[in-house]
Amino acid sequence: MFTGLVEGTARLASVSRHAGGATFTFEAPFLMDDLHIGDSIAVNGVCLTAESVSHGAFTATAIPETLRRTNLGGLQPGERVHVERAMRADARFGGHIVTGHIDGVGHVADVYPEGEARVLVIQVDPSLARYMVDKGSVAVDGVSLTIMRAERDRFSVSIIPHTQSVTRLGEIRRGETVNIECDVIAKYVERLVSYRSHEASGGIDAAFLARHGFLR
């Protein structure tokens, strides 16, 4: 599990594409004090596994499904990505619950300044927008953000100066693709309500009455 408080940006040193997906080597010396083979690490919000760790860099492989559903498939050497190690059990829990399981991608429809902040308007499929509410949480390329405004097929977020300085969101441009993870709590609530509604809608019928002795 992650929190969406990314630890910094790593540089993509190389990528090897193969039938099994793509293996990336990321330079991230600031993570080396506590990153080990087998550890989970979020890269642009995508949960990957560190396969090797040495000389200030780590490698991780993304399978074809991940490459299709996220922006990792379009990464080129030299680009920078957000990275976050999995949350420790004894750590402070900032941000919000982030699983590293991307729900889909969004496209930056507009970018404009608002005071010292930078507002991003991100277009998403309505199937993702349904989980978004004003003042709710969303992870954009792994960064935990608060939704300013939620609409049918887009939402807006405001990037404060600190977040602009420690993430790529301070330089992102119109037209770029970003990974979106909706609030997992919203998804669980929808599933629970849907399940209970289904039970209620089919609760009383002839078979139900017969089972309980009302019909013979």
* Model pLDDT, residue 91: 82
Domain containing 158 equals: 104-200
| Residues 183 and 122 occupy one common structural domain | yes
What's the CATH number where 22 sits?
2.40.30.20
Number of structural domains (the chain) is: 2
Q: How large is the C-alpha radius of gyration of the chain?
A: 21
| Residues 168 and 124 occupy one common structural domain | yes
With bands split at pLDDT 50, 70 and 90, how would you rate the model's confidence at 89? confident
Tens digit of pLDDT for each residue in 155-166?
999 999 999 999
Span between the terminal Cα atoms of the chain, in Å: 54
**Domain-located, residue 59:** yes
| Residues 76 and 117 occupy one common structural domain | no
The pTM of the full predicted model, rounded to 2 decimals, is: 0.87
Domain boundary pick from 54, 85, 116: 85
Q: Which residues contact 89 (CB under 8 A, 6 or more apart)?
A: none
Paired tokens of 94:
């900032």
| Residues 113 and 74 occupy one common structural domain | no
* Model pLDDT, residue 205: 59
**Helix ranges (DSSP H) in the chain:** 64-69, 126-129, 161-166, 184-201, 206-211
**Domain-located, residue 90:** no
* Whole-number Å distance between alpha carbons of 147 and 141: 14
Q: Tell whether the model's pLDDT for residue 84 goes beyond 90.
A: yes
**Domain-located, residue 155:** yes
Tens digit of pLDDT for each residue in 195-207?
665 555 555 556 6
**Domain-located, residue 93:** no
